[in-house]
Amino acid sequence: MNRSEGLVQRRNVIRDSGGAKDFHNVEDKSSDRDEENDDGDSKETRLTLMEEVLLLGLKDKEGYTSFWNDCISSGLRGCILIELGLRGRIELEKAGMKRKSLLNRKVIVKNDTPTGDVLLDEALKHMKETDPPENVQSWIEYLSGETWNPLKLRYQLKNVRERLAKNLVEKGVLTTEKQNFLLFDMTTHPLTDNLAKSRLVKKVQEAVLSKWVNDPQRMDKRLLSLLVLAHASDVLENAFAPLNDDDYELAMKRIRELVDMDLEAESGRGTSTEVYWAVFASFTK
């Protein structure tokens, strides 16, 4: 997959070494022990994993993602599965005595309580009604509409990018405009809240530079998921583009370490949910 197309041009700049405010990641409250604690910062716009990945991919002034990016569609579906896992709605079936691989284990609905997010609840409803259950990779394909099985086409989540963009408009991060492209008009969503975008970019940069934790088990699971899924969606380099050459190379080196980690081994460590490890595996296989 060529990850050099459709990305912003990187600039050589000196990274600010001054003190930086620590913007903590906000988790949704859930009974699942894998959820991170809510830091209670009401001043920071709370975004879902899907919204963060889309925001990284959107061109600030133009208000749309690169026409060359054919990865973000499946990447956003992966975000949906991870979000459901982090909120304690789904889990993987047990590995069993034969230790089934992550990609062979089925997704089980363990809590069908609505999340309040339309996209998440739509995906959760499909999973609840499916018998026998399907694995993570199949669900990413079904939710993306990338399946040859006509019976599974009804699972496709349509207009995901547009629906996420409208969520960001409601949260005051984006606005809505109409642009003419010669043969057709297109609805676009330019950035209006520069602080929200810069906060997100800063969080991503710091995660692999000043706050790097050289152990995925010790990383915040939502932040780890953001890094891996933004990479899978071909939007992560947009956050790294402003870095100077040395920091850029270091950031990319650490992302490669995450992408190349032994996911089967990592999923067996600790007691955390394994859904996100399976999602990672579906993009790094």
Tell me the pLDDT tens digit for each residue of 12-70: 443 444 433 333 333 344 334 444 444 333 445 689 999 999 999 999 999 999 888 98
The reported pLDDT for the residue numbered 83 is: 97
Longest dimension (CA), the chain: 60
Specify whether the CB–CB gap between 65 and 54 falls below 8 A.
yes
Residues 6+ apart with CB under 8 A from 268: none
Measured from the Cβ of residue 29, the count of other Cβ atoms closer than 10 Å reads 11
Q: How far apart are CA 26 and CA 47, in angstroms?
A: 8
Put residue 94 in one of left, alpha, beta given phi > 0 → left and psi -120 to 50 → alpha: beta
Most confident of 17-31, 85-99, 188-202, 258-272: 188-202
Q: Which two tokens stand for residue 130?
A: 């499916």
Residues 121-156 pLDDT 10s: 999 999 999 999 999 999 999 999 988 888 889 999
Predicted TM-score (pTM) of the model is 0.83
